[in-house]
Amino acid sequence: MAKVRVYELAKELGVESKTLLAHLKSQGEFVRSASSTIEPPVVRKIMETFPREGASGGDKKPAAR
């Protein structure tokens, strides 16, 4: 697994980049912006922390029209 940019991981997880940045900073990771890269061990840890979008099995309601 190669280094991943914060914004790419945020998009994959279905969260905002600033939310992921705040979480990474609270964990002691050195990230400055959404274009900062994250090492593979950190990516694995984040993937366990944040559930993937759609992996919850339909807990979200469809948008009202």
Residue 60 lies in a domain: no
pTM of the model: 0.72
The answer to the question of residue 33 being in a domain is yes
- DSSP for 22-56, please give it: HHHHHTT----STT-EE-HHHHHHHHHHSPPTTTT
| 38 falls within a domain | yes
Q: How many domains does the chain have?
A: 1
Instruction: Give the pLDDT confidence score for residue 64 in this predicted structure.
Output: 66
pLDDT truncated to tens, each residue of the chain (65 aa)? 689 999 999 999 999 999 999 999 999 999 999 999 999 999 999 988 877 655 554 455 555 66
Phi then psi dihedrals of residue 35, to 5 deg: -95, 5
Q: Assess if residue 27 is contained within a domain.
A: yes
